Structure 1
């Protein structure tokens, strides 16, 4: 969904610091400015969130509006047509979007990761090719996970040379969050020599079929369905080894989920607070004539407020860790690896807490309300369904083990590129 944006300057070769670091020196927007830029759009998105969830209506118009407003250019340097946000600012804005509709925040997960790949790329040609595309409003989705009994860490989807001089991609993916709304899919493939690679597949072509067949009980409108590539064409220069990806990608993917959870917690607090404040009915065995004055109900809302604050603080802390590794990505490998481990730990520890805290809070909100709160028209169940679904993406029990391993042994496992599938025998 390419849109009109400020013209992008030609790509420049990165030095020891990333392009994102350089942009901070050129222009440093405040978080308040960034939030203000999107406030009206977020309000409109929030107004339709419950109905979209109820009817499983994909937010196509909302994603287009976000792209046109520059959401996909948050991280791009100002001199390349972007808004110049650092990672903590980006995740603050993403959390605000999640508070409006957590589905939309998760939809941008693949895009945010690919932007990071461009910002830290060592190839000036790659940067020069993709920065203008992103600046013009191109949206990138995700196509990594495969259905069935495929081998763990090895893509069954293949890429091969085409007679035209480009390449062709063949295979099936699931959990393709964001791709049904996007212009390109960041796709994991296996090259003829067995190399695990990335192919940036243009999606508006006959060789690509995208289906909204995600049937989860939560995050219903993320478009997390099936993508089928049948001789899908991709320029040869847009296929590159997976090993060249930025090193902190796993941590970044997890912090996107943290931001989604933090937004859900804030939305649950917002709805519970409003309903308690406005409720005129009260129980004869309660503590006050109005719900808003009942100390037991206020205690419940207070727990929601504490949960929301905790989730936001942990998300912001993990985003700070990501910023530090981002700035070191193309520098001293020893420093990079140390900061990368710190980012992994920050995201893992946060998910251990947040993955349990937010679903519990989304359930507890009903303790402050009456039976009318469980009616479908109230749509309050979506907060728990969404939180539980986000928490199921990567089991938090493994994150707890990683955190414990570091606490006891002083290190984490070296393999931080996670995958799912059948173990090789």
Structure 2
């Protein structure tokens, strides 16, 4: 068990424990029906859990530790992988806003307002970044500048948590008098021209609501658009933010491994005496040992990577780390992602052997873990996901 580093983190994890049974029950229902976990997200919102990074006067816990936010996501995912993945970006964005506000008394007033809305439960976030066949630094979604603000049009896919969200944090191609740049915008779901299609029908993570969002001539004021780096090519200064956004997602998959291990160990412990007691079989005992080692390996690599990433975020202001530091923590994040992906599969395979043939039935929680974990290969920190090797090769300058 990876310990939290702050009292706020410990309190947030305790809050999850209070709702674990509800999340587990809803996970089975949502998976069977293929419906978004709206009720589970709403339950956590009403409990105040989605606002933990807001300052205490605003209704939050003041949780500014990326380390502890990642462990919070892990615990949610251990109860329901879909909800853990769906909310990972909400928590990553919220803690980023909190760190920005804490870094300076002159922090962006808009982000302070977002924190107040998070603390009150009025803001639930989804990250609308992915587009079909396009890298993160080459979005086709376009924002055009005029005298009154911006007009945004485009199509986003795999927008996890979008059916539950009140706001979409998105990346766009900004076209203005000074040329073309990257930009990021906060778009209210209620804004005219926003259409959230609850059309997700995945093999796993069936409750994550990872559907399509259409933006059709959405009008935004200047304050809702934030300038970024160059459009059309990787920005080496963006790696810090990508690592911060990605490590909570990796934590969610570790939570899925934790859930599978817990299910199998509970089954192994309650094996009752009879003519055929599976827990006494050498093969089953070997699977228990192998599962234990696999989870320990995943947890150890994740913990080390999380600590290295958190050291950077604890000692530098947001977006102030140089590009080499950004590359180093992005590499750490990738190593954690690949290790957790592989070892989670190993954990689940062993867990299914321990539980026997019933684990192959569609409504068994291990069957859900198996399908949920398969999405990890398509959610790696580097984009496109299959190019991670280039990033890890010695001497590579790929960003």
CA displacement, residues 14-71 of structure 1 (integer Å, 9 cap, x when unaligned):
xxxxxxxxxxxxx951644332222111221012212211211211111112122232
**Equivalent residues in 2 for 1:120-159 (5 A)?**
120-121=99-100, 123-137=107-121, 138-147=123-132, 153-159=137-143
Please give the alpha-carbon distance, in whole angstroms, between the structure 2 residues aligned to 1:188 and 1:31. 29
Please give the alpha-carbon distance, in whole angstroms, between the structure 2 residues aligned to 1:119 and 1:243. 22
Please give the alpha-carbon distance, in whole angstroms, between the structure 2 residues aligned to 1:319 and 1:84. 20
Report the equivalent of 1:256. Answer: 248
Report the equivalent of 1:192. Answer: 175
Please give the alpha-carbon distance, in whole angstroms, between the structure 1 residues aligned to 2:252 and 2:285. 25
Displacement of 1:105 in angstroms is 0.9
Please give the alpha-carbon distance, in whole angstroms, between the structure 2 residues aligned to 1:332 and 1:159. 23
| Other structure's SS at 2:358 match | helix
Please give the alpha-carbon distance, in whole angstroms, between the structure 2 residues aligned to 1:316 and 1:75. 21
Displacement of 1:212 in angstroms is 2.0
Query: Structure 1 residues 372, 282: closer, same or farther in 2, change over 3 A?
Result: farther
Query: Structure 1 residues 37, 347: closer, same or farther in 2, change over 3 A?
Result: same
Displacement of 1:104 in angstroms is 0.6
Please give the alpha-carbon distance, in whole angstroms, between the structure 1 residues aligned to 2:377 and 2:32. 21
Report the equivalent of 1:97. Answer: 76
Displacement of 1:197 in angstroms is 0.7
Is the contact made by 2:92 and 2:248 (CA closer than 8 Å) also made in structure 1? no
- The structure 1 residue matched to 2:220, chosen from 201, 212, 234, is 234
Displacement of 1:246 in angstroms is 6.8
Query: Structure 1 residues 99, 208: closer, same or farther in 2, change over 3 A?
Result: same
Report the equivalent of 1:68. Answer: 46
Please give the alpha-carbon distance, in whole angstroms, between the structure 1 residues aligned to 2:157 and 2:386. 24
Query: Structure 1 residues 389, 255: closer, same or farther in 2, change over 3 A?
Result: same
Report the equivalent of 2:85. Answer: 106
Query: Structure 1 residues 39, 326: closer, same or farther in 2, change over 3 A?
Result: same
Is the contact made by 1:373 and 1:380 (CA closer than 8 Å) also made in structure 2? yes
> By percentage of residues, which structure has more strand?
2
What are structure 1's unaligned runs of at least 5 residues? Answer: 1-26, 284-288, 416-425
Q: Aligned Cα RMSD in Å?
A: 2.9
Displacement of 1:89 in angstroms is 1.5
1:302 aligns with 2:289: yes
Query: Structure 1 residues 308, 396: closer, same or farther in 2, change over 3 A?
Result: farther
Query: Structure 1 residues 308, 151: closer, same or farther in 2, change over 3 A?
Result: closer
1:171 aligns with 2:154: yes
Query: Structure 1 residues 126, 365: closer, same or farther in 2, change over 3 A?
Result: same
Is the contact made by 1:117 and 1:246 (CA closer than 8 Å) also made in structure 2? no
Report the equivalent of 2:359. Answer: 373
Report the equivalent of 1:386. Answer: 372
Is the contact made by 1:120 and 1:330 (CA closer than 8 Å) also made in structure 2? yes
Please give the alpha-carbon distance, in whole angstroms, between the structure 1 residues aligned to 2:255 and 2:112. 34
Report the equivalent of 1:402. Answer: 391
Displacement of 1:353 in angstroms is 1.6
TM-score computed with the length of structure 2 as normaliser: 0.84
What are structure 2's unaligned runs of at least 5 residues? Answer: 231-236
Is the contact made by 2:66 and 2:244 (CA closer than 8 Å) also made in structure 1? no
Please give the alpha-carbon distance, in whole angstroms, between the structure 1 residues aligned to 2:281 and 2:385. 36
Displacement of 1:127 in angstroms is 3.0
1:323 aligns with 2:302: no
| Other structure's SS at 2:191 match | coil
Please give the alpha-carbon distance, in whole angstroms, between the structure 2 residues aligned to 1:297 and 1:224. 37
How many equivalent pairs are there?
Answer: 377
Please give the alpha-carbon distance, in whole angstroms, between the structure 1 residues aligned to 2:159 and 2:299. 26
Displacement of 1:102 in angstroms is 1.0
Structure 1 window deviating more from structure 2 (205-214 vs 335-344): it is: 335-344
Please give the alpha-carbon distance, in whole angstroms, between the structure 2 residues aligned to 1:332 and 1:357. 32
TM-score computed with the length of structure 1 as normaliser: 0.79
- The structure 1 residue matched to 2:56, chosen from 74, 78, 93, is 78
Report the equivalent of 2:194. Answer: 208
Is the contact made by 2:55 and 2:61 (CA closer than 8 Å) also made in structure 1? yes
